[in-house]
Every structure is written in C-alpha cells, then in structure tokens.
Structure 1
Amino acid sequence: MDHMILVSGKWKVEKTKWLFEVDNDQGSIIVSANDDTRFEDFVKIIFEDYGVDFAENDLELRYLFPKQNLHNQSINTPPMKIGNDRQFHAFLGVCKVENVRLCVEFKLKKIVGEGAGEDQKQPIHGDDSLSEDEEDTDEEGDRFDYCDDSDGATSDDENFTT
C-alpha cells in the first residue's frame, strides 16, 4: 500500500498562479491506496476519515502536476481533477515517481428543485438570481474562470454551437 497525504481546503488563482488555501480546521490526513483500490472506495475513506457527511457534501479531488513534468504546459494549467477510476489510477502512477499532495475540497450539495420533472439542482442558501435593481457584488477573487484564453476572452465569449 502506498501512503498519500491529503489536505483539505480550496483552490484559488492569483493572476496566472494556482494556489491551494488550506482549511486549518480540517487539516491533513494520510491515506493508503494501491492499484487494487477503487475510486469509489477511496472517496468513502476520505469522507470517513475527515468525518464529513457524504449525504450533504460533494467532494473534489485535485492535484498540481509536478513542475518538471509541466515544462511543455502553460504556467496557468489548472490542477488535475480526479473523478473516476482511470484518473485515480493515473494519479497513483504519478505518486509512484513523485511526491504529490492531493487536495480535497468539500462543497455543500445543492438540493433538487421541487416541482421540476427532472433533476435540477439549486443552491441551498436561497435564490442566486439577481433582479434588475440588484447589482452583482462579486469582488475580484471571489470566483474565477478555469478557461481564460490568452487573448483575455473567456469561454463564455465563444459560441460553440456553430
């Protein structure tokens, strides 16, 4: 079994650099896994070891690819996401040759909207829509776009349906 350090917190981007802000309350844990470990089982272990309720929270697992392996990539390449068995086993392969920290981000699940015939997710903390009189008060740094283009455009600027 290989041991991995997992750190709880949130990803942020400052200019072109990705930073991970550690949640000091949750902190770090060490977990064992190997090639026989299934991603689903690994996720259950994380919820159990952190003492977080999986019914109320979603989990995002991300890591920064080792810098020496990113020499052909842009400096602002976002952290690698682990969301299935294939990605998890690729991460395990990287861990065999490099010491890589796995970053864990817990997010409150969104509830299913009532009266809707399909699974529509809505935020727990109320209505996020803005009326015409309300102003969007997001400050710089509160959110960021993963897909900024080098020309300053965002992924919202392009019409991919044409």
Structure 2
Amino acid sequence: MDHMILVSGKWKVEKTKWLFEVDNDRGSIIVATNDDTRFEDSVKIIFEDYGVDFAENDLELRYLFPKQNLHNQSINIPPVKIGNDRQFHAFLGVCKVENVRLCVEFKLKKIAGEGAGEDQKQPIHGDDSLCIGDTSEDMFSCPQV
C-alpha cells in the first residue's frame, strides 16, 4: 500500500512563477493507494475526506514535477494536471521514487453561460528553467510557462 499526500489550496500566477497558496483550514490529508486505485475513486475519496460537495464544486489536481527528473532538460514545466486514470497512474509512479505533493484545488461550478469568453491561458515570460517547491512553507512556486 502506498500513500498520497494531498494539500488543499489555490494556484496563482505572479510575474513569472506559479504559486500554490495552501488553504490552512482544509490543510493536508494522506490517502492510501495501490496499483488498482482508479482516478474516479480517488476523486470521490478526496471530496469525501475534505467534506466538499461534489455537486457544487469542481476539482483540479496538479503537482510540481520533481526538478531532479528534469536535469537534462531546459524546458519550463507548469504544474502537471491529472484528469484521467493514465495521468493518475503516472503520478503514482512518480510518487514511488519522489516525495511529491498533490495539490487539490476546489472551484465552484460555473452556471451555464457564466464566464464565457474568459481565457485562462497565461503569456510566456522569463527564462526560468525549473519548478521550485518547499514542503515546509505554505506557498511554493514554479516558473510560469
């Protein structure tokens, strides 16, 4: 049995860095996983363990790719999104060799037609090469792509 460390909060972009601001009220949880754990089951567990209503909220799961794994690459990597079983199992594979936190962001579901035309893409800035994460602080950052 393996374990995932989940941290609730919100991603922000400031200048050329991705920042994850921890929600101190919700904080962190640990969830048991194994090779048979399905993404959909994990999503249900996350909603349940955080006590968040899935009917009113969407869930985004992202993590900072360990910079040690990028030693020969000079590309900027924004937080990696998990949205299906394949991506979830890739994350679990990374967790087996690295101590990686899964960042959980709850967002209120939008009403049909609300927010139409909003573009959430960010412009490319800077030449920073690697994500920065400090597990001892309430915020950690990644260069924006």
Alignment TM class, shorter chain as reference? 0.7 to 0.9
Comparing both structures, which one devotes a greater share of its residues to strand? 2
Residues 29 and 120 of structure 1, relative CA distance in 2, 3 Å threshold: closer
Deviation per residue, 1:100-136 (Å, 9 max, x gap): 0000000000123599999999999999999xxxxxx
Distance 1:67 1:128 in 2: 12
Moved more, 115-124 or 73-82: 115-124
Contact 1:5/1:31 (8 A) holds in 2: yes
The aligned runs of 1:16-35 (5 Å cut-off) are: 16-35=16-35
Larger RCO: 1 or 2 (CA < 8 Å, sep 6+): 2
Query: Partner of 1:4: helix, strand, or coil?
Result: strand
How many residues align structurally?
137
Q: Percent of aligned positions with the same letter in both sequences? A: 93
How far apart are residue 78 of structure 1 and its match?
A: 0.6
Residues 4 and 154 of structure 1, relative CA distance in 2, 3 Å threshold: closer
Moved more, 3-12 or 83-92: 3-12
Residues 122 and 85 of structure 1, relative CA distance in 2, 3 Å threshold: same
The residue aligned with 1:2 is 2
How far apart are residue 72 of structure 1 and its match?
A: 3.9
Contact 2:9/2:23 (8 A) holds in 1: yes
Contact 2:9/2:105 (8 A) holds in 1: yes
Residues 123 and 105 of structure 1, relative CA distance in 2, 3 Å threshold: farther
Distance 2:136 2:66 in 1: 26
What's the TM-score, normalizing by structure 1?
0.66
Deviation per residue, 1:4-59 (Å, 9 max, x gap): 11000011233332221101111111111111011000000000000000000000
Residues 98 and 123 of structure 1, relative CA distance in 2, 3 Å threshold: closer
Distance 1:25 1:155 in 2: 17
Query: Partner of 2:137: helix, strand, or coil?
Result: helix
Residues 128 and 70 of structure 1, relative CA distance in 2, 3 Å threshold: closer
Contact 1:112/1:120 (8 A) holds in 2: no
User: Could you say which structure has the larger radius of gyration?
Assistant: 1
RMSD after superposition: 9.9
Contact 1:60/1:105 (8 A) holds in 2: yes
Q: 5+ residue gaps in structure 2?
A: 139-144
Contact 2:8/2:23 (8 A) holds in 1: yes
